[in-house]
Structures are given as C-alpha cells and as structure tokens.
Structure 1
C-alpha cells in the first residue's frame, strides 16, 4: 500500500491560490529538469479561474511561470465549437490564456479538432493521435505521462467527463474516450480515460465551497465514495494526488487534512 492522497485545506482563496502556485511551479520545474517541457492537462468548471489567480497575480518571487515551456491539453472537452460557451478551451482561453503577460511567454495549446464535432468517436481518436504524437513519438508507451493534471470534482464525484457508474470507468486501453450521453449537458464530449488520469506524475484537484462538503465526505470517508471517479483516482494514484480545498468544502470530513500552506 502506498501513502494516501494529500488533502490541503485553506481558510481563504488567497491562501489556496498561493499554495496551488507553489505546487504547479514545483511540478513545472521538475518537468523542465527531466525533459525541457511541461505537459499539463486541464479541466474546466471553476478551475481555470482559480488557476489564473494562482499563476497570474503578483507573487513574492518564489519562482517564475515559464509558459513558453508549457504544453496544455484538455482532460475533457465538449463537442462544441471553440468559441461556444460550453467549450472548456474557451473557458481556459478567456480566464487564463488571454491574460498571460508577454514576458511569461505563450504556451502551446492542443484543442480538439472541430472538424469532427458530428463524430465524437473520430474526435476522440484524433485527440488520442495528438497525444501519441507528443508522448509516444519515439517509442511505444502504454499510457501517456502528464507532468500534471489539474482537475475538478463535481457534486456527484465525477471528474473530467468520467461520471459515476459509467462503463467508461472500466476502459483500460483507449487514452481518449467519446461520450454521447453525458448526464450533464452538453451530452457529447470526449475525456481522458481513468488509466491516463491516474498515470500522471502529479494530479491536483481543486474543490471549494460548502456545496462540496457532502461529496467530499463521501469520497474521503466512505467505501462507496472510493468507487466514485474522484475516489478511484485517489485509490489508484494515492500520494501522487493532492487536493486543494477551502474549509467549507471539508466541513465534517474525518480524513486528516493539512491546514495552511504546503
């Protein structure tokens, strides 16, 4: 048995952002030492806004975000045009990418190919080909290894577009999966598979607000919650997982949280 996931709780959004920044910079710097590039998968929801606060606001000089060395992928995406209000790309672009100061450089970004909006199996296959070209160009690998995945947790315990009880949770071979019947609109999406998510070097979740306390208690304190998508990531990736939460999100949670900064 490995060590359990890390659960970090903060009193304020500023404290959370500061620790998230330190965490991302540590992942960035380790990745640049290993292979001169930082490969990150992002989800949508409230995460891009929190991430922008962490990375773009003035810091106390604990390191520099080197966006020109970043490659950004999407942990899941909706089968909509890139300028559609449901697009995770649009959300990340507006909340973060458009606001990056020129001196920090511009990341390489890998959105979906909108030619395949009407064929989500092909869209998933094409996105997987993108991953293969980046992660497996020189040799065959069973799974891509993201340096960091930054994810959210839905009120039902879903993450990416992996939903509770979905047969997609049992898929072991594909890297990217199509979804035609998402319980959350829009119904057509693609998502990284659970094995790909769990294979990341680091996996960070951000969950805030009292609306999350019920699902957080379930994920961390119950056997049933360990079978939810977020719980499965915890179980499979163990100490490579770090949660960044505020105090209201873990009210009543028995699992030990570390209070304050990393």
Structure 2
C-alpha cells in the first residue's frame, strides 16, 4: 500500500483513520499504537492529518475514552460517520483486528468487565493484563457494527486460541472468548499463517 503502483491508485482523501483501541501513553511513545501506525504506514501515504483521529494523550484513561466517544458522536451528527440501522452504533467501513493468546480483541480481555459493555461506544481500562495497563477501546457493539472486519492472526502462540475459536477445545458451558464474539454486520475475513492454524 505504501509503494507504487498501490500508493498511487488509492484516493487517500476518502480515508478516515481511527483506533479500535489505544494505549493511554504519549503519542510518541514506543508503546503507542499511533506511533506504530505513523512510522509504518501513515507517514508514507498522503492522508490529510485532519483525517487521522488519534486519542488525546494528555487525558486520563477515562477522560480519553469520553473524549474519543464525543468526537465520534460529533462525526455522526455531521454525517461523516454513518450509524448502523441494525444496532444504532457507528458503522465503520473496515476494522483491522488481531487477538491475543487469551482470546482478547481490541482491549476487551476475557477477565475484564469492559467486554460486556453494551451502551458505551468507547470505554477504558486501567488494569489491562497486557502492559501497558491504561487503555481505551471500542466496545463490542461498535466492533460488530462494522461493514468489514479483517482478523489478522499469526504465530504459533495463537494456535490453541484459534482451535478454541474454531469450535475445538473450549469446555462445554464455558464463557466464549471475546474473539469468539466478533460477528460484524458485514464480512469477517481471517488472515492466518500456518503456525496459527497448526492445531486445526
């Protein structure tokens, strides 16, 4: 995407960039998802800075989540982001997700209550089991309102979780993992390597 001919064939003016989840750290921190995206992608393509919606890294986790949700609501009111007719939550064209060995997606962890949030668009966590602990995250209803979700899953450390997600290895009656509850209104496409799918 960042090299010709792909870079030159995309209408970048139509791109709006958001973060499904983000660590509440300075944007120039090596722990920042923004910095990772900027260094590897955003700095290499002509997307207007006004179309890139980073979190306010000067706020507390709760404040950053409230601010991000408020900004999303303003964009909905301005008819820039549509609402899903089915769910009433904002409807993004594409979400890029991964998952952890514990089955978390975004910053929705199996052992944390944020995974059950049904009303908020954006919530926060201050005790993420994966460092750094303070984060904000889209809620599952927002994630599942997406038109398309690309789930990128690579590495042998995810093989057991991929097996559980595919219907094997989860004890009967167990609570589904957050990754198992990703079910967008549109298409869900998995991108996996041989290591991640080695136990299927």
Q: Give the TM-score taking structure 1 as reference length.
A: 0.66
Q: Distance in 2 between matches of 1:136 and 1:143?
A: 12
Q: CA deviation at 1:130?
A: 1.1
Tell me, in whole angstroms, the C-alpha distance in 1 between the residues paired with 2:23 and 2:62.
13
- Confirm or deny: 8 A CA contact 1:226 1:232 kept in the other structure: no
Deviation at 1:205, TM superposition (A): 0.6
- Report the aligned-residue RMSD: 2.3
1:196 and 2:151 correspond: no
Q: Which one has the bigger strand percentage?
A: 1
Give the unaligned 5+ runs of structure 2. none
Change (3 A) 1:130 1:239: closer
Range with bigger deviation, 160-169 or 85-94: 160-169
Q: Distance in 2 between matches of 1:78 and 1:164?
A: 18
More helix by share: 1
Shift of 1:211: 2.3
TM-superposed CA distance for 1:215, in Å, is: 1.1
How far apart, in 1, do the equivalents of 2:27 and 2:82 lie? 31
SS in structure 1 of the partner of residue 192 of structure 2: strand
Q: Which residue of 2 aligns with 1:237?
A: 184
Where 1:214 maps in the other structure, the secondary structure is helix
What is the aligned length?
189
Counterpart in the other structure of 2:114 = 168
- The 3-state SS of whatever aligns with 1:127 is helix
Between the two structures, name the one with larger relative contact order (CA 8 Å, sep ≥ 6): 1
Structure 1, unaligned stretches of length 5 or more?
1-54, 254-262
**Would the aligned equivalents of 1:136 and 1:144 in 2 still touch at CA under 8 Å?**
no
TM-score, structure 2 normalization:
0.86
Matched, 1:248 2:195: yes
1:207–1:58 CA distance, 2 compared to 1 (3 A): farther
| Whole-Å separation in 1 of the counterparts to 2:67 and 2:148 | 25
Partner of 1:86, secondary structure, is coil
